[in-house]
Amino acid sequence: MLELYQFELSHYSEKVRFILDYKGLPYRKVEVTPGIGQIDLFRMSGQRQVPVLKDENEIIVDSTAIALYLEEKYPEKPIIPVDPLPRAQTLILEEWADTSIGLKARTAMIGAFNQDPEFRKAFFPNRTPQQLQSLVDELPENVRGVGNMVASSVPSFFKNIVGAVPGDLLSIGGTVAGFGSEAVKAAMDDLGRDLEALSLILVDKPFLVADHPTLADFAVAALSMYIKFPASPTLNVPLSLKGKGVPGLADNPKYETFFQWRDDLYLNHRKIDETVPPPPVDGSPQKISID
């Protein structure tokens, strides 16, 4: 069976999960433990980032390479059109989603985490800032275990996507490299234009390029995850985060067409993974089995 080495909260991993689900390919998720698990990943794949796909003896690194591999090896339910124009549009949109939307969405989310107590509460609904700090201080102890890894999903999430834990982000007010207020504002402005453009494309079309979903749709839907976490049960994010996102973008009626399109894509093309329990709502330690 295909194996996907991933972080549940990684938007690049989400892109691959979307494609696997759409193509109807059964796969097993292997949740990589931040830090120590990435050492094993490095041994296996020669690098430390997720997603990595293992297909028998083949190891494929990088979400785009995985998409191209899956399209070639499992051509049923194609996601990359053959005709020149839609093919070009698909590849360009995918590249734009990966290199622009995904990175700016991450910046905007960190900005909102620092600036908006309500959004912050969605990550840690039952914690005061004091408790949050002690949770973070405890983390190194918690993540060292034998056999079962004990991890705190939300702190790990931040550590992975920004290289900082929530405590760092809060105590230095978002000045972690690349997440200062000017960078956040620029990212928000750009994302506003992106969401407007996408909403315009989707006003009277069900998909971005073709009359069926393509790699462009899956990349844009997945890489916009941090702008607004999908409410869909298919994604194992803390319940309190579902449907929540960056204020000014996630709740702006101007982009309703886009978010409605994304909800429909989730409803129709992502599958519920019943094998993984949802992460804890309060960031308390959670056992993750590593095979």
Ligand X SMILES: N[C@@H](CCC(=O)N[C@@H](CS)C(=O)NCC(=O)O)C(=O)O
Q: Can you give the binding site for ligand X, defined by CB under 6 A? A: 7, 10-12, 38, 48-51, 62-64, 98, 160-161
The nearest distance, CB 163 to ligand X, in angstroms, is 8
Is the CB of 112 or the CB of 162 nearer to ligand X? Answer: 162
Is the CB of 34 or the CB of 257 nearer to ligand X? Answer: 34
**Cis bond upstream, residue 51 (ω within 30):** yes
For 2, phi and psi rounded to 5 degrees? Answer: -60, 145
The nearest distance, CB 81 to ligand X, in angstroms, is 21
Give Cβ neighbours of residue 110 (< 8 Å, ≥ 6 apart): 162, 169, 174, 176, 179, 184
The nearest distance, CB 37 to ligand X, in angstroms, is 10
106 contacts 191 by C-beta, under 8 angstroms: no
Length, in residues, of the chain: 291
64 contacts 91 by C-beta, under 8 angstroms: no
The nearest distance, CB 104 to ligand X, in angstroms, is 14
Could you count the other beta carbons within 10 Å of the beta carbon of residue 121? 13
Both tokens of 156, joined, read 């790990």
Rounded Cα distance, 208 and 255, in Å: 15
Of 248, 245, 238, give the one whose Cα is nearest residue 263.
Answer: 245
Is the CB of 64 or the CB of 175 nearer to ligand X? Answer: 64
* Displacement of CA 143 from its chain's centroid (Å): 22
Q: What SS3 class is residue 178?
A: coil
The nearest distance, CB 205 to ligand X, in angstroms, is 26
The nearest distance, CB 119 to ligand X, in angstroms, is 20
